[in-house]
Amino acid sequence: MKYFLFATLGTLLMIWPSSQASAQYSTSDVDISTYPYKGKTYHTITLNRSKKRVKAKYFAYKDGNTTVYDRYKKWKVGRDIILVSSGTYMDYYNQTKPDGLTIDNGIPINRKLNDFGALVVVYATGGVVVADIMNENINMRCGSQYESFNLQNSYERSKFIDCAQDVEATTFQTHLLVFEDELKIYSNSSPAKRERRFLAACYYGDQLYHVIVYVSEYVTLLDATREVYDFLKQGREYDEVVFMVNLDTGMQDVFNVYDTQGNAYDYPKGPLELSKAVNLLVYYYE
Amino acid sequence: MRLTTLILCFTTGMLCGAWANTSYYKVVEDYAALQQPAADFPYQQLAGEIKALEPMEANRLFVAMDSLQLQPGGILFTCLTEENAFLKDTLLNHNELSGWNFLIRWSERYQNFSQHTDNDPALFMAVGDYWLSMVAGAIEDSLESNKDLSHDFEYQFLIKRLDENSYTVTRPTPSLVEKGLYNINRGRFGYVLSRFWLESPWFIKLGLLLGIVIVLAGIAKIFSIFKNLIKR
């Protein structure tokens, strides 16, 4: 009987940490709020990146037969998850294959550069960099030093992919909406209306914040960009919007936000289950 | 000096090409002789294949220029840096699937070669990348102008070939009907219904509700008729 009790207690102690894996982050570094502004409702998750405790991870593609969800489940053990969101677009006919230049942990998934405008680099260390690749070179840390690459050039793109392999970086492309306080989307963008979710990096004084903005109202990408930019600058009074990129809310719309105890909020929440994710942007606390 | 020789060689090749089919072959051979560090690249085989191609003038030109592009810092290196309007235009206008397949095959050769050379492998990778990206772009443009080509076997084959090389062709977004059928086929009924409900105007929703009521009423009526018949 005594052995049985010890065994039960031991099992419970082993199960407890994994069931509570998504738990506990400091509310001083993470703010989850809803703001009404100029007739629309903005759900925001504001992450303080200056203290370097909030980190990012991106799962760009399945690994062999291991789905993105299974990769995420395995990776998240022992980590405190703040939110998960679908990242970039995928090819409709070849579900799960991402559009645009994509590298997953140094492994090239799609070498084709698209004209989306933004290349997002997620370092193995949890850092995130966004580059306006249509107009500027991208600077990436290769070993001990930074190197500059013009991704429009095949030769430099090959060098960039080599560098990404060396540092096990993850990259994906998406639409660049705002860069260095300047709108980068024009009136010829898609007229389709739907809910929108953006990732913005903003400065308030010397503090850098990553802000996920979710707009549940159906709106075009252009209108949503203008409105969210106005909301961030005027409504939230950020000094600078360093970049704002689009996160896909299409057929793979996964979005979960967790409270400090690791429980998923009922709202905001994407319509698809996390297990259906084909790529996944994760913010976690360390 | 080498650059001047290359330009001369290339120009000569271009001029002679108008009169003699073997000129591009000559350009490749000349280049193979010049490009000492990468002399182990199978230029002779490439040249032989170019010679055998009939009548794909454009592709011969591509490959001849492609080979010349291997000179770092030369005119052909510039082709990798800037959009070459002439090449792009020719590639798009010569909408030849077999030509695209040829370019894919030789791009693979270049990229495979990069794995076995110490002489700037990224350059060989880049030449392959240049052509694979161009072919993928040309296919995307074709599909954009005619969505039905997505279902064409030859296009599907080329898209698959590019995919095997990690170049994903972005196909145009399908129609709502196609999307609906796709999701129904995968049993995502809840998703289809929620998208339908969110995106449809009010009168469509009203029509659907009325339709459901009519169908249910009809079923109930038929059921009651049968019930009465059984009772009698």
Nearest to A24 by CA among A280, A282, A256, A263: A263
Q: Which of A70-74, A138-142, B189-193 has the lowest mean pLDDT?
A: B189-193
Could you please report the per-residue DSSP string of chain B? Answer: -HHHHHHHHHHHHHHHHTT-TTHHHHHHHHHHHH-GGGTTS-HHHHHHHHHH--S-HHHHHHHHHHHHTTSTTSHHHHHHHS--HHHHHHHHHS--HHHHHHHHHHHHHHHHHHTS-SS-HHHHHHHHHHHHHHHHHHHHHHHHH-GGGGG-HHHHHHHHHHHHTT----PPPPPHHHHHHHHHHTT-HHHHHHHHHHHS-HHHHHHHHHHHHHHHHHHHHHHHHHHHHHH-
Sign of CA dihedral A75, A77, A78, A84: positive
Q: Distance between CA atoms of B74 and B88, rounded to whole angstroms? A: 19
The distance from CA A190 to its chain's CA centroid, rounded to whole angstroms, is 22
Contact B136 A112 (CB under 8 A): yes
Contact A111 B163 (CB under 8 A): no
Token output for A121: 């680099």
**B198 touching A (Cβ < 8 Å):** yes
Query: What pLDDT is stored for residue A99 in this prediction?
Result: 92
Query: What pLDDT is stored for residue B183 in this prediction?
Result: 79
CA of A86 vs chain B CAs: smallest distance (Å): 16
- Cβ distance B141 to B91 under 8 Å? no
- Cβ distance B92 to B84 under 8 Å? no
Q: Phi/psi of residue A11, each to 5°?
A: -60, -45
**B143 touching A (Cβ < 8 Å):** no
CA angle (A27, A83, A92) in 5-degree steps: 160
**B81 touching A (Cβ < 8 Å):** yes
Tell me the whole-structure pTM to 2 decimals: 0.77
Q: Distance between CA atoms of A200 and A196, rounded to whole angstroms? A: 13
Which run of H or E residues covers position A246?
strand A240-247
Nearest to B50 by CA among B102, B117, B124, B107: B102
pLDDT tens for each residue of A196-253: 999 999 999 999 999 999 998 889 999 999 999 999 999 999 999 999 999 998 878 8
pLDDT tens for each residue of B60-105: 445 544 544 444 433 333 333 343 444 555 555 555 676 677 778 8
pLDDT tens for each residue of A154-195: 778 888 999 999 999 999 999 999 999 999 988 778 888 888
Higher-scoring residue by pLDDT: B95, B3: B95
Contact B126 A110 (CB under 8 A): no
Q: Which of A112, A149, A174 to mutate to test the interface with B (most CBs of B within 10 A)?
A: A112
Query: What pLDDT is stored for residue B45 in this prediction?
Result: 61
Closest by Cβ to B166, choosing from A99, A109, A152? A109
